[in-house]
Structure 1
C-alpha cells in the first residue's frame, strides 16, 4: 500500500486564513445552513450520499463517532469539497480512523521494506550534506520517526480510501477530512499515481506535492474560512500533537530540519495553486496536472514561474576505489532544491546558534498570500539546479555537491553563506578554498570551488581524499595561501 497525500501536522500559531469567495454555480445558497433540503433528482455538485453542502447534521464526536454520524459527517464533507472545487466525485470514498499505534506499525513495516543498507547509507550522506544529520546518524530512521509522530491522515491512490489518525475514540478533524477528500477527488480525475507525479528526486517530489498538497491545502483553507460563519462545522476536542517549536526552545524528539523540509509544499503550495486559480479558476488548476512544476523553486516563487532546472553534469568520475551508489536517485545523485538549501541554513540558526540567515522570519510569510511559512533567503534564492552525488569506499564516505545559480552574484552569496556555516562548525582553513572540521558529527574535509554561476563542494574524510573523490577540482594555485580559522 502506497501512502501519499499525507496531512502533516503543521500546528503554527496564528496561521493566516485568507477569505475567499467559493466558485459560482447553481449549487444553492451558502449564506445559512438548512436542516434537511430536498434531495435532487440526480447527482449534482454540492450534494453527495444524501447530504447537501449547506445542510445541518446532528453529529457530536465528543464521545466518538457512531456509524451513522460518520456517514453524515463524510457525506456532507464530500458535498462541501465538490462545492468548493466545483467538481463531482465519481465514486464513493471510504474513511477509516486508524490509531496512532497502528499507523506507527504501518510506517515501520514500509520503512523496513524500502530502507535497505545501501539505501540508508546513500540517504544518510544526502542529509549529512545538508548538515542535518551527522555521518553516524540514521537519517532513514529519523524520517520514519517524523512520519510516525507528525502525520494526521493519508489517502491511498486507486483505492478510494482515506485513513485518519485517531487518538483513542473515533474522532476526525474537519480540516484533515476535507484535505484528504480533496486528494480523493484529485485521484478520481487526474490519477495521483501517474508518471507525471512520480519524480525520482527529493526536490522533484516537493514540486509535485506543491501542486497536489497545495490544492488540498487551498480547498481546506477555503473550507475552514467558512466554518462558524456561513457553515455549521463539526467540533472536535483538541487531542492533537503539541505545536512544533520552530521559533526556539528545546528541539523536539523528531528531526526539526526534516519537518521544515517536508512541509514546504503544504506551506507554499496553496499560494501556488491560488495564483493559478486567479488566472483561470479551477480550469487553470486542472491544467497544471498536464505540466506540473519541476522544482520547489517554482512553488516557492509562484509569481515568477521559470523553465525547468538547468542541466548539471558530474563530469570526471572518482578514482582510487571511490564509488557511487548505483542508480539511486538520478544516476546516483539527489537534488535537494531551493527548499533543501534554505532548510540547511535555517537549521544552523535554529539548532546551532549560527544565524546565517534571518531564520526567525520563517514564521512570517509575506502578507496577502496563502503560504504559512517563509522559505526565501538571500543564499537560497536564485537557485537554478543542484545535484549531490554520495560516494563510498569501504567504510569511508564522501560526496560531490554541485549547485548552479541564476547569476554569478547568486553563486557568490551561496558560497559566502556556506563558508559561514563551516565557520559555525569551527572549521579551519587548510589550503586554497579548502577547510577541515576536526571533530564532531561532521568532522571532514571540504573544498568549495566556484566557476561563474556554478559552485561545487567536495567532501571527504581527509584533504587527500578530496582529489580522489573529485579529480581536477583543485582551485587555482596562483592564489596566495592563508592558513587560518574562517572569520
Structure 2
C-alpha cells in the first residue's frame, strides 16, 4: 500500500494554498470537457460514499497546461507570503547548513513542483485543475485525492484556517499534514476499491514521475512534502481505535456493556480540521494529539525584541518543530537527496531522530545589521536528558564554515550552543557572521532575552 502512495506524494499541491483568482486554463474541446466532467462527477460520488459526507456543490474541473501551473505558483506565492519572508527563510536555511550556499531555493522548489504536479485544487474559485499531460487512469487517481481536498474545503474552509496560523512553519506543516493525510487516506480507499480497473504499468510509470528529481535536492526541500502525505495519512488513520481481532479458533472479544462507542473517522477528522495539531511533533507521534492522557501541546517561546542591539533589526521569526530539528541534527554526510526508484529507501524513510524526540518547543529569530547576521534558536525539551541529547547532536553538526560561505562576504564570528543553569531543559544556539570580524566583538552579538509559556 505504501508504494502507490509515494507515487503521489508530490503530484498535488496543498489544498489550503492561496491561488490566483481563476487561473487561465487552455482552450478545451467541448467533447473532451464533457468526458472530463462525467469522470469527475463519478469520482465525486465515489468520494461521498467512501467518506460518508456530501459535497455542498459539485466541483468544476478544468485542464491546465504548464504555463497555467507556473502562473498558479507565482500568483500563489505573491498572495501567500511577502518577498522579505522568503529571503528570511532562505537565509536561515543556508546559515544553518540545511541547503547549499549557492542554491536558489525558490527556483529549485518551483522546478521540483513543476515536474511533480498532476493537478491542483484552487480554494478561491472552488475549481480543480488537472494537468493536460495526465489522462486516463492517472487522472482518475489524481481526482480521487484532489476531490477530497475540495470536500474538506467546503466543510472546513481550509484557506481560512491556514491564514489564522500565520507564519509558523511548524504549525502550517502540521495542518498541511491533516489536509494531505485526509486526501491520501480516502484516495487509498478509492484505489483499493478500483484496483481491478487501474492500469498497473501506467501507475508504475507515474510512480517514477511522482518522486523524480529528489536525488538532486537537499532533504529540507522534499522531506517535509513527503512527511505531509505519509505521516499525515498515519495521523488521520490513528484517529480511531482499531478493533482487536480474535485469534484463530477464539470468539471475538466481548465489548463491555458500559463502554462508550468509539468516535467515527468522520467525527475525528472534523476535530482535527477545527482544532488542528499545533506541531509536527503531534503529527509524528499521533498519540500526543489523539490520546487525552498523552496529549502534548508545544510550549511557546517569546523573544523580547522591543529593544534589539543598537543598529540591529529583526528580519523574521519562525518555529522549526520536531521535524525541522530532526533535519538540523541529521549528520552532514546524510543530508542528501533520495533516488525515487529505490523503493526500499522510500519505504524506510524516517522523519525524526533521537536528537529531536522529546521536543517541547522552539523559536528562531534572525537579526540583521547591514550584511551582518545574528541567528538565535531557543529550544525547550521534555526532560533534561532530551536537552542534553539535542545539545550533543547539534554541536556535532552545526556547519559553521559551510554556513559562512552562504554569504560570501561574511565571516563567522560566533558559535554558541549552551544550556542555562537555571533552565536545564533548554538549549540555546547563537550564531553570528560579519563582514569585518573586528567590527563585531562577541559582546556585541549577545542574543535577545526570551521566555517560555
Give me the whole-angstrom Cα distance separating, in 2, the residues matched to 1:125 and 1:82.
44
Equivalent in 436, 460, 463 of residue 432 of structure 2: 460
Determine if the alignment matches structure 1 residue 228 to structure 2 residue 191: no
What's 2:311 paired with? 321
Query: 1:352 Cα shift?
Result: 6.2
Q: 1:456 to 1:362 in 2, by over 3 A?
A: farther
Runs (5+) with no aligned partner, structure 1: 1-8, 14-64, 326-331, 354-359, 366-372, 428-435, 474-487
- Which gives a bigger RCO, structure 1 or 2 (Cα 8 Å, sep 6+)? 2
Q: Is the 8 A contact 2:301 2:363 kept in 1?
A: yes
What's 1:401 paired with? 377
Q: Is the 8 A contact 2:94 2:403 kept in 1?
A: no
In the TM superposition, what whole-angstrom CA distance separates every residue of 1:45-75 from its partner, at most 9, and x where no partner exists?
A: xxxxxxxxxxxxxxxxxxxx93343233212
What's 1:11 paired with? 7
Q: Is the 8 A contact 1:322 1:469 kept in 2?
A: no
Give me the whole-angstrom Cα distance separating, in 1, the residues matched to 2:321 and 2:174.
10
Give me the whole-angstrom Cα distance separating, in 2, the residues matched to 1:291 and 1:345.
30
Q: 1:321 to 1:403 in 2, by over 3 A?
A: same
Equivalent in 262, 286, 295 of residue 279 of structure 2: 295
What's 1:21 paired with? none
Give me the whole-angstrom Cα distance separating, in 2, the residues matched to 1:320 and 1:449.
24
Determine if the alignment matches structure 1 residue 207 to structure 2 residue 174: yes
Query: 1:315 Cα shift?
Result: 3.8
What's 1:447 paired with? 416
What's 2:133 paired with? 167
Give me the whole-angstrom Cα distance separating, in 1, the residues matched to 2:39 and 2:382.
49
Query: 1:272 Cα shift?
Result: 1.0
More helix by share: 2
Equivalent in 251, 274, 281 of residue 237 of structure 2: 274
Q: Is the 8 A contact 1:127 1:139 kept in 2?
A: no
Mapping of residues 87-106 of structure 1, within 5 Å:
87-106=53-72
Q: Is the 8 A contact 1:179 1:220 kept in 2?
A: yes
Equivalent in 214, 218, 226 of residue 185 of structure 2: 218
Normalization by structure 1: what TM-score? 0.69
Query: 1:207 Cα shift?
Result: 1.2
What's 1:338 paired with? 322
Number of positions where the alignment pairs a residue of Structure 1 with one of Structure 2: 380
Determine if the alignment matches structure 1 residue 417 to structure 2 residue 393: yes
Mapping of residues 420-439 of structure 1, within 5 Å:
420-422=396-398, 425=399
Q: Is the 8 A contact 1:130 1:341 kept in 2?
A: no
Describe the SS at the equivalent of 2:311.
coil
